[in-house]
Amino acid sequence: MKRPHRDLPLERYRKELSRCVKCGSCCAVCPPFLQERRESMSARGRIALIRAVLDGRLMASDIYEDRLATCTGCLACEEACGSKVPVTGIIQAAMEQAMRESGPGFIDAVISGLVKNPVAFHAAAWFASKALHFSGGRGGGSTFKAQRSWASGAVDGRRETRGKVAFFPGCAVPHLQPELGRATVAVLDRLGYDVVVPEGFKCCGRPLLSMGDRKAAAECSEHNSGIFAGLEAEAIVTACASCGLTFKRDYPKLLPPGAKHPAVLDIHEFLATRLSNTPLARVKKRITWHDPCHLGRGQGLSSTARDILRAVPGLSLVEMKNPDACCGFGGVMRMTHPQLSDGIAGEKAKNIIATDADAIVTGCPGCYLQIREALRRKGSDIEVMHTVQVLEEALMNAELNKKEIGE
């Protein structure tokens, strides 16, 4: 069998592949391996398979591509790896090579077509909950109208504006979770910012990358960067951890050499230095916090998110067991391997329930959906919230208190 040509994605990682010493540290933290206990579903096992294919000792097959697709992209293996093997980069390259050599499957082609076309995505939003294997899903009927009205609710009597902020809503928020979009804009608005939600954005490209479709992801990055470049805003923010990581880590690689990539901030990152001296009313709740993989390990914002929550009077934060363990959403993996995804989510739900919290708070729309469904399957009525919803409640209550005392 011929060895791959040097212009293929995996050849660039040949040296990095050899750094894996098969110690097994990754097995202790790999969510799919911990569920299935199959070596081929551990980071170490995937690395071995990829190296065998690269060396020509193994044929790339449907099973091989399936093992690549079961990686959740949680980054836990890289954090645990003493040899600093760039596991997610290697798996990404393997998926891109597989896509190049065998083309997209039917599901991949459908997903790719939808995320590249916002109008089509909206039209098919009613089907999204079924594709994600979630019950009680939201239809697509009123989401577009809700998205367009986010920035229209300015607070009466607001003081002089602190500046203009652009909000990138991503895919899940406009089509499945408009409440998170409204809460994000409401928080920014009440902090004194004029908020714009520019039209014409496409998906950040994360789902496309998770399928190995680098070309389509690059097209999205160039399109979005063009829109970003025309914005006159103090900052561009997103409330999606995966979008934030994609902008920071992947756009510099996806965009043409020399192209300016957008500086997008996660909402926690933006708010961290802007909540001081802001009146927040009590929100009397016992909460626990789930670290989204792409927020904590990906962007290093775990402590930042907790600091924001601790700034809200009345909140009691109790840590769950393994708060940084992946919830199992894993992007497209949720669609292609729902049982594996459910198993990982079930462990997360069990740890949440054990805290006896009133609410579980997280910072990613995907985690929000996954955890809500996992708790429903366990029969739990624990409330699921995004950080911006907690802040919205604190800010609105403070405003009401102010009006009641006649200030």
Q: How far is the C-alpha of 352 from the C-alpha of 336, rounded, in Å?
A: 25
Q: Model confidence at 309, in pLDDT bands (50, 70, 90)?
A: very high
349 and 371 in contact (C-beta within 8 Å)? yes
Chain center to CA of 140: 21
SS3 (DSSP) at 348: helix
The reported pLDDT for the residue numbered 388 is 97
Q: How far is the C-alpha of 204 from the C-alpha of 113, rounded, in Å?
A: 14
Average pLDDT, the chain: 87
Over the stretch 46-104, which tens digit does the pLDDT of each residue have?
Answer: 999 999 999 999 988 889 999 999 999 999 999 999 999 999 999 999 999 998 887 76
Token pair belonging to 150: 């986010």
φ, ψ dihedrals at 193, nearest 5°: -100, 140
Any idea which fold 285-404 has?
Rossmann fold (3.40.50)
**Axis crossing angle, helix 387-404 with helix 178-190, rounded to the nearest 10:** 50
Domains in the chain: boundaries? 9-103, 113-271, 285-404
Is 285-404 the same fold as 113-271? yes
Between these two residues, 314 and 335, which has the higher pLDDT value? 314
pLDDT over threshold 50, residue 5: no
The reported pLDDT for the residue numbered 174 is 85
Q: Model confidence at 356, in pLDDT bands (50, 70, 90)?
A: very high
The reported pLDDT for the residue numbered 139 is 42
Domain 113-271 architecture: 3-Layer(aba) Sandwich (3.40)
pLDDT over threshold 90, residue 115: no
- The single-letter DSSP state of residue 250 is I
Over the stretch 146-188, which tens digit does the pLDDT of each residue have?
Answer: 333 334 444 444 557 889 999 999 988 887 889 999 999 999 9
Over the stretch 237-258, which tens digit does the pLDDT of each residue have?
Answer: 999 999 999 999 999 999 999 8
Any idea which fold 9-103 has?
Fumarate Reductase Iron-sulfur Protein; Chain B, domain 2 (1.10.1060)
Report the first-to-last Cα separation within the chain, whole angstroms: 79
Percentage of residues in the chain having pLDDT higher than 70: 83
The reported pLDDT for the residue numbered 153 is 43
Q: Model confidence at 108, in pLDDT bands (50, 70, 90)?
A: low
- Mean pLDDT lowest among 158-167, 268-277, 312-321: 158-167
Token pair belonging to 262: 């957008």
